[in-house]
A and B are shown apart, each in its own frame.
Chain A
Amino acid sequence: MSQAEGQQHPIKIYLWIWLLLFVLSTFSYLVDYYHLQGYLRWSLIIVFMLLKAGFIVAIFMHMAWERLALKFAILLPPLCLLILIGFMAVEGDYTFFTRGAAFLH
């Protein structure tokens, strides 16, 4: 094993991340509570979401301390999904357009 026995880190770091996740969740809730709209709303939601996801994967799931081979094997394949999301966004846009056109005629 690369570590003596599994992943051993001070408890303190988990408590800090826990607190941080609470704060970030509160922020994302406040985005809705104060009715922020448009690009400000969407970018804040995505920033808080990615920060939370990053801390969970890196610290709680210990990915930060794993070897690069495992990080690559697990974190790179989901990038394919960006292509799916892109295609489906284009498709959704097109469907909306054709539906609109069908209703006009």
Chain B
Amino acid sequence: MAHDAAADAALSPLQQVAGDFSADKNAFSVPWGKAMMWIFLLSDTFIFTCFLTSYMNVRMSTTTPWPFPSEVFALHMFGQDIPLILIAIMTFVLITSSGTMAMAVNYGYRRHKRNTVLLMVATAALGATFVSMQAFEWTKLIMEGARPWENPWGAPQFGSAFFMITGFHGLHVSAGVIYLLVVANRVRKGFYDKRGSYEMVEIAGLYWHFVDLVWVFIFAFFYLW
């Protein structure tokens, strides 16, 4: 940007904000694609909050007891029921994929193509693992009689909230896996070398971290509450 870095540093943070928004230049000193991804993620935040808020509303207003997630999502392993174990593993898988993605972005900016591609493919593989485990969880619950309108454990609203929230999140993960593979393939073919910038890798990373971020809230409010 044309603005003088030394003069900028002399301003207070709020004066910097005022300057960024009012001066005759781009408001955000980031590539436009990154600003737009952030704005998309902001809108997605509103969508997921609406889902979680409606879940809160039906859970507060139901007169039948809410199913106990700790037991509903328990798995029978090693001769005993372990509460929430599949969900815990899914959480660790998604966090790990976030870690590999953060490193992929880093290697991209260092122009280390091989590591960038490998780490992005690893991220996509972990994402696919997550979706597979979610498919397993859905299958198990459906076999046990969970439906969007009824379930054997308690309040019928449980099913609609569960399928809506985890389904929409799983859709985001699936889309993210495809998105990451497309970008990784472009890195491999040298598309971003020609363009002279690896910011697309960081933008894809933003989306992926957001998917992980949403899961943090779903894990806390839906599975642990």
Chain A residues with a Cβ under 8 A of chain B = 1-2, 5-9, 11, 14-15, 17-18, 21-22, 25, 28-29, 31-33, 35, 41-42, 45-46, 48-49, 52-53, 56-57, 59-62, 66-70, 72-74, 77-78, 81, 84-85, 88-89, 91-93, 95-96, 99-100, 103
Contact = CB atoms under 8 A, between A and B. Distances in A.
Interface string B89-105: 00110011011011101
Interface size class of B (residues with CB under 8 A): 35 or more
Interface stretch (B57-65, B139-147, B162-170, B171-179): B57-65
B20 A69 contact: yes
The 5 closest A-B pairs by CB, nearest first: A92-B60, A95-B61, A18-B99, A69-B20, A49-B220
A66 B151 CA distance: 46
Interface in B168-210: 197-199, 202, 205-206, 209-210
A95 B16 CA distance: 47
B17 A49 contact: no
A5 B193 CA distance: 13
Nearest to A74: B38
Interface string B204-225: 0110011011001101100111
21 contacts: A1-B31, A6-B109, A6-B199, A14-B103, A14-B106, A18-B102, A33-B83, A56-B212, A57-B209, A60-B205, A60-B212, A61-B205, A67-B28, A68-B16, A69-B20, A70-B29, A73-B27, A78-B42, A81-B46, A91-B57, A95-B57
Contacts, number: 170
Contact of B1 (A1, A21, A45): A1
